[in-house]
Structure 1
Amino acid sequence: MKPSEGSTVIGKSVQLKGDITGTEELYVDGKIDGTIRLSGSRLIIGPNAEVNAELYVQDLVVLGRQHGPVEATGRVEIRQNGELIGDIVAARFSVEESASVRGRISLTGQDGRG
């Protein structure tokens, strides 16, 4: 999966510590430690990414590694070879073969989109 046109990209050589907030799609392929808040937007954790953060997003796609709790008003997808360690609260959830998930999963069944 590649970043869509118009999304913000954090490349694989970039390392960030702290809080990230925004309202547009974010594609991460580097290392992040902290908190990510994307109200009404999608976060894509790329195949090279190592994210150790609390996530508050609309939708989440994990191709790399995410360690920390996730709160999504929409869908959480763990793609092939992706890894998510942490509790998940989401409206919808999907996991592909050979992906890894450890933590509690709570499905609200209510998509946050109008």
Structure 2
Amino acid sequence: MNTATLSWTTVCAATDILPNTGVCARVANRHIAIFRVGEAQFYAIDNVDPKSGASVLSRGLVGNLGPRLVVASPLYKNHFDLKTGECLELPDCSVQAHAVRVEAGAVQVACG
């Protein structure tokens, strides 16, 4: 993905997201979950849990299953890969992953 041609939306300051948690933001008419893993890794996936239709993934538990960084949905406990959006238990319920970056201390997301 060529990130230079994407349209970026500033969401919040990087310091507004505590390590190993997520927040939700509306970007390009989509509910996006943005996660901070450790001090400096940021990921963005759709926030809507496809199984329930609720906008809750940003409130899930961040961790890993083997080498994969995941968030567990707070409703059905399905695990979503933070890099790809793949649902590990139900691949048909995967969500879209989005480009995310930190510029001058601000978290920015591109949907597309």
TM-score band (shorter)?
under 0.3
Would you tell me which structure has more strand in proportion to its own residues? 1
TM-score by length of 2: 0.28
Structure ranking higher on relative contact order (CA contacts 8 Å, 6+ apart): 2
Would you tell me which structure has more helix in proportion to its own residues? 2
TM-score by length of 1: 0.28
